[in-house]
Amino acid sequence: MAYLKVGEENNTDIAIYYEDRGTGKPVVLVHGWPLSGASWERQSAALLAAGYRVITYDRRGFGRSTQPSTGYDYDTLARDTFELIEALDLHDTTLVGFSMGGGEVARYFGKYNHSGRVTKAVFMSAIPPALRHSGDNPEGIDPAVFEGIKRGIEADRFDFLDAFLKNFYNKKLVGGTDISDAAIHASFNIASASSYHAFLNCVDAWLEDFRGDIAQIKVPTLVIHGDSDQILPIDATGKRIAALIPGAQLHVVAGGPHGLNWTHATEVNKALLAFLK
């Protein structure tokens, strides 16, 4: 097990847990909320088999990382990503963000890729470009929706999580065809182990605007999104990301839910590996 110190709180280290496996060109995988780096197991296996160096890490507050009370904004979260890439001295790197992890990818390019270490970007079921509804962002969502999410978490985050994961994987739509109850239970266990503070406060970060960050992306980019995503509908997110990045590839997974990296892993991995080549 490996840890990287990224800060301190009350004289206690804030450290993120990471795994660094394989050889070849590096691929850094940034997980979604409220899971951990373990959620990438189907992509990690495919990437390792194809000869890539695969780095996964747990966002602060989640998985095996430290659970501080601070740092659940995207400037800090992307800084953690930057610190890991710098510490491992990665070059010619592909940065892949799933769901909330897409925010780290966007903000990394907006603020931290001065050295040019990251040369490809992948947004998978990702949260950018901007979720908050406003006069200049009519495609966004009423912030009251997110206040409702926070109230649900505050009332009983485990009951909230149970319903959330069914929508995450479209369990009501696909039944047991694309994901088992056991796999959803595994996700529930991973998410339940997160810090309550991180679980709740990351919701505010979802409303950050990434359009300025995305404008800084000048590298080959792949957007993978399911057209049945109930968490982050493709019209408000994936299609807009692809439209904002010149030359970006958009791969739409027919019938794909939010958690398509598990339910449609074969198709997702094929698209990812083709892009990397």
Residue 72 has pLDDT above 90, yes or no: yes
Mean pLDDT of 119-132: 97
Instruction: Encode pLDDT of 197-206 as tens digits.
Output: 999 999 999 9
Cα 165 to chain center, whole Å? 15
Rounded to an integer, what distance in angstroms lies between the CA atom of residue 102 and that of residue 205?
12
Catalytic site residue from 99, 194, 195, 228: 99
Q: How confident is the model at residue 171 (pLDDT cuts 50, 70, 90)?
A: confident
Q: How confident is the model at residue 175 (pLDDT cuts 50, 70, 90)?
A: low
Instruction: Encode pLDDT of 19-60 as tens digits.
Output: 999 999 999 999 999 999 999 999 999 999 999 999 999 999
Rounded to an integer, what distance in angstroms lies between the CA atom of residue 79 and that of residue 190?
24
**In 189-225, which positions are buried (b, 16+ CB within 10 angstroms) versus exposed (e)?**
ebbeebbeebbbbbbebbbbbbbebbeebebbbbbbb
Mean pLDDT of 7-28: 97
* Whole-number pLDDT of residue 177: 61
Residue 258 has pLDDT above 70, yes or no: yes
Catalytic site residue from 44, 229, 251, 264: 229
Range of 119's domain? 2-276
Percent of the chain with pLDDT over 90: 90
Mean pLDDT of 210-217: 97
Q: How many domains does the chain have?
A: 1
CATH of the domain at 267: 3.40.50.1820
Mean pLDDT of 154-171: 94
* Whole-number pLDDT of residue 173: 59
pTM: 0.96
* Whole-number pLDDT of residue 104: 98
Tell me if the bond preceding 138 is cis, omega within 30° of 0.
Answer: no
Percent of the chain with pLDDT over 70: 97
- The token pair at 96 is 């892949």
Residue 178 has pLDDT above 90, yes or no: no
Active site residue 258: yes
* Whole-number pLDDT of residue 237: 96
Residue of 80, 105, 88 whose CA lies nearest to 29: 105
Determine whether 246 is exposed, middle or buried from the number of CB atoms within 10 Å of its CB (0-12, 13-18, 19+): exposed
Residue 142 has pLDDT above 60, yes or no: yes
* Whole-number pLDDT of residue 174: 52
How many degrees, rounded to 5, is the angle at CA 165 between CA 4 and CA 229? 100
Active site residue 99: yes
Q: How confident is the model at residue 115 (pLDDT cuts 50, 70, 90)?
A: confident
Instruction: Encode pLDDT of 228-246 as tens digits.
Output: 999 999 999 999 999 999 9
* Whole-number pLDDT of residue 113: 86
Cα 155 to chain center, whole Å? 25
